[in-house]
Copies of this chain bind each other. A is one copy, B any other.
Amino acid sequence: MTVTNKRIIFKEYPKGLPIPGQTTTFDASQTIDLDNVPLNGGILVKLLVLSLEPYIMARMQPFMPNMYQIGDMIECFGIGVVLRSEKPAFQVGDHLHGSYPFQEYSVLRQTESFTKIHNEYNLPWSAFVGIAGLPGKTAYFGWKEHSRAKKGEVAFVTSGAGAVGSFVIQLAKRDGMKVIASAGSDDKVEFLKELGADVAFNYKTTKTSEILTKEGPINVYWDNVGGETLEAALNAAAKHARFIECGMISAYDGSSKPIPNLISIIIKEISINGFIVSTLSPKYLETFEREVPALVASKELMYREDVTRGLENVEVAFGNLMKGALTGKGVVIMADK
């Protein structure tokens, strides 16, 4: 059976926010013969779920080590189902998590980074690009490794309604901390409260620095944004505060403003730690897989998704993500099975 194989191509480096059709382009010109396309020892996978992540924006910058090449497909994490396989490790019907090109069907030969999802608790597949997947691991590994959380201390979590931040809020609460969390809309602020945040605010209508002055000082800062928010967090940091650098969404468009108070790092003896999930994986993966899906299944851990359907709508959805207009983890459902 020959079908259209829609895809998303990287067209040019964005100046500022990505523009659908200009930064990227939707292309429906390709077809694929699902029964006969040669696998050459690889697998044919149908994409079910794509994850929308700020990381995509980062990889659109020419200074990134693994930047996208102009003319290539955008690529990010997703979940696909195996339609055909010439690899003994993968069977037809297996659901695989990995970094997929943004197209409906892919023949993959390099599959080292693809892992089979067992899904013992029968969670929706999309959970595995969210709380039970990489964003969940990001939150969990980073928090366990760098927070040195103490009961009664104060944590400040940015992008609190996102896939990572919403889990971090819950981890901080489980560790007995007071949690200040920010997000970019009143609707999201409601969600922060549902997650258990003690102080939740809309950073677009309330000044972060004012909230932190009132509710801080902060002992742990979960940084998803960098820039002025990082500056405010440095000002509001307690002695020996731990800053966990998870993302700097404010820097992904290539702009940067001075952070005049970096010297607080010294004065307050702050520890700032960047981390990458894969490095921490050997240390925390087993505990994560034992604990997290079970807690999701039993609803002890909450998550929220902003669902887009179909590859045609990916570009607009990604733009909305970067504008902060998604509520919950951004996922694209390409097909239900």
Copies of the polypeptide in the assembly: 2
Considering the complex, which residues of chain A in the window 21-78 have a beta carbon less than 8 Å from any beta carbon of chain B?
58, 63-65
Q: Contact: A274 with B265, CB < 8 Å?
A: yes
Residues of B within 8 A of A256 (CB): 258-260, 262
Interface presence of A257 (CB below 8 A): yes
Interface presence of A211 (CB below 8 A): no
A164 to chain B, nearest CB (A): 12
Please name the residue on chain B nearest to A235 by beta carbon.
B63
Q: Contact: B63 with A261, CB < 8 Å?
A: yes
Please name the residue on chain B nearest to A251 by beta carbon.
B263
Interface presence of A17 (CB below 8 A): no
Q: Contact: B269 with A271, CB < 8 Å?
A: no
- The listed residue with most B CB atoms (<10 A of its CB), out of A64, A256, A261, is A256
Assembled-state Cα–Cα distance A142/B210 (Å):
33
Chain A binding surface SS class? loop
Please name the residue on chain B nearest to A271 by beta carbon.
B273
Q: Contact: A251 with B245, CB < 8 Å?
A: no
Considering the complex, which residues of chain A in the window 228-280 have a beta carbon less than 8 Å from any beta carbon of chain B?
230, 240, 245-248, 251-252, 254, 256-276, 279
Given A251-B263, A258-B257, A262-B251, A272 and B269 contact (CB-CB distance below 8 Å): no
A94 to chain B, nearest CB (A): 31
Interface presence of A226 (CB below 8 A): yes
Please name the residue on chain B nearest to A265 by beta carbon.
B274
Q: Contact: B248 with A263, CB < 8 Å?
A: yes
Assembled-state Cα–Cα distance A263/B274 (Å):
9
Contact with B along A115-155 (1 / 0, CB 8 A): 00000000000000000000000000000000000000000
Residues of B within 8 A of A245 (CB): 265-266
Q: Contact: B266 with A274, CB < 8 Å?
A: yes
Q: Which of B248, B268, B274 contacts A268 (CB 8 A)?
A: B274
Residues of B within 8 A of A276 (CB): 266-267, 269
Closest 3 CB pairs of A and B: A265-B274, A266-B274, A272-B272
- 16 CB < 8 A contacts A-B: A58-B263, A63-B261, A64-B267, A226-B262, A245-B265, A247-B266, A252-B263, A256-B260, A256-B262, A266-B274, A268-B274, A269-B274, A269-B275, A270-B273, A271-B274, A272-B272
- B-contacting residues of A (Cβ < 8 Å)? 58, 63-65, 226, 230, 240, 245-248, 251-252, 254, 256-276, 279
